[in-house]
Every structure is written in C-alpha cells, then in structure tokens.
C-alpha cells in the first residue's frame, strides 16, 4: 500500500514538474516566434532599402557617366568611357550580388559584360583595370566595398581628367 502511494506521489510530482517545464518552454517558444517575426520584417525593410539605395546609386552613376560622355571630345577617353558603361549600367545588379556574397565582384562584372560582346570584358580589364594601380587594388578586393569604391573611383578619375582638360583649355 505504501509502495502504491509512493509511486502515485512520484507520478504526481513528476507530472506537475513536467507541466510547469512545458509551460515555461511554451512561453519561450512564443517569445522566439515573436522575435523571429520581428527580425523577418526588419530584414524585409532592410532588403527593400538596400535595393532602393542600389537603384538610386545606379541612377546617379549613370547620370554622371552620361555627363562625362556628353562633355568629352577626346576619342580615346570616349572609348574608355564606353568600356565602363556596361559596368555602370549594371550597377544595381553588381551591387546586390556583391552585397549578398563576398568575392562576387569579378563574376558579376563578367556576367554583365557577357550580355555585350565577349571580348569587351577583356578589353575593359586590360584598359581600365590594369592601367591604374589604385583601380586595380579596388578590383582585387573583390567585395562589396571594393565595388562601390571602384565605381566611384572610375567616375572621379574621368571627372578629374575632364576638369584638367577644361582648365588647360581656359589657360
């Protein structure tokens, strides 16, 4: 009789313990689900924001490139600007790929140039990237920051050249 009471008491104590343990785990699970939902919504907002930033930066870069193309008269420089045009025109696509994964700058750029002529990527690399050590260093970083800096550096380089040409013509 005492053994039956002890087993019953043990069973009741274990049942109460597991009941409270299950309640605690259920509260933790609800908290985690709420946090997960909040993080997902924040991720969606951040993703949309990064997409907007990429699109806006692409528009700014395209406008700057178009201004350069309109103002330059030198044929050699126009050829170089034409070489960076696919790179700038696909800014947001390269931006997003570089943002998602490290080491995607080269492959994303190659993909953007593949829609053009096959040799265009090689010419771009030879004439634009290899000629300037600063540009080459940014290219070799092969990451998001390197891409943003590279696009800016290329535009600034030609803007500075244009400014120098204007100043020498005025003198």
Confidence of residue 126 (pLDDT cuts 50, 70, 90): confident
Structure tokens belonging to residue 45 = 């907002």
- Residue numbers of the domain that contains 119: 48-170
Give a yes or no: residue 35 inside a domain. no
Give a yes or no: residue 1 inside a domain. no
First-residue to last-residue Cα distance in the chain = 114
Taking a C-beta distance cutoff of 8 angstroms, is the pair 88, 62 a contact? Answer: yes
Give a yes or no: residue 40 inside a domain. no
Domain count, the chain: 1
Give a yes or no: residue 22 inside a domain. no
What pLDDT is stored for residue 100 in this prediction? 86
Question: What distance in Å separates the CA atoms of residue 64 and residue 88, rounded to the nearest whole number?
Answer: 10
pLDDT, tens only, 30-86:
999 999 999 999 999 998 998 899 899 999 999 999 988 888 777 677 888 888 888
Give a yes or no: residue 34 inside a domain. no
Give a yes or no: residue 147 inside a domain. yes
Question: pTM for this one?
Answer: 0.74
pLDDT at 137 over 80: yes
What pLDDT is stored for residue 122 in this prediction? 86
Give a yes or no: residue 2 inside a domain. no
Nearest to 154 by CA among 135, 126, 170, 127: 135
Mean pLDDT of 15-29: 96
Nearest to 132 by CA among 105, 157, 160, 159: 157
Give a yes or no: residue 97 inside a domain. yes
Taking a C-beta distance cutoff of 8 angstroms, is the pair 132, 38 a contact? Answer: no
Confidence of residue 26 (pLDDT cuts 50, 70, 90): very high
């Amino acid at each position: 009789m005492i053994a039956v009471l002890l087993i019953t008491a043990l069973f009741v104590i274990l049942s109460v313990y597991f009941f409270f343990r299950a309640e605690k785990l259920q509260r933790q699970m609800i908290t985690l689900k709420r946090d997960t939902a909040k993080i997902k919504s924040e991720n969606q907002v951040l993703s949309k924001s990064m997409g907007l930033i990429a699109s806006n930066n692409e528009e700014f870069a395209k406008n700057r490139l178009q201004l350069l193309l309109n103002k330059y008269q030198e044929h050699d420089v126009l050829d170089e600007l034409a070489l960076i045009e696919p790179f700038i025109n696909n800014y947001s696509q390269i931006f997003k790929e570089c943002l998602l994964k490290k080491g995607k700058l080269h492959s994303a750029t190659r993909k953007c140039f593949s829609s053009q002529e096959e040799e265009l990527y090689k010419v771009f690399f030879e004439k634009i990237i290899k000629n300037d050590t600063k540009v080459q260093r940014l290219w070799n970083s092969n990451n998001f920051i390197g891409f943003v800096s590279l696009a800016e550096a290329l535009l600034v380089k030609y803007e500075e050249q244009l400014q120098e040409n204007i100043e020498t013509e005025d003198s």
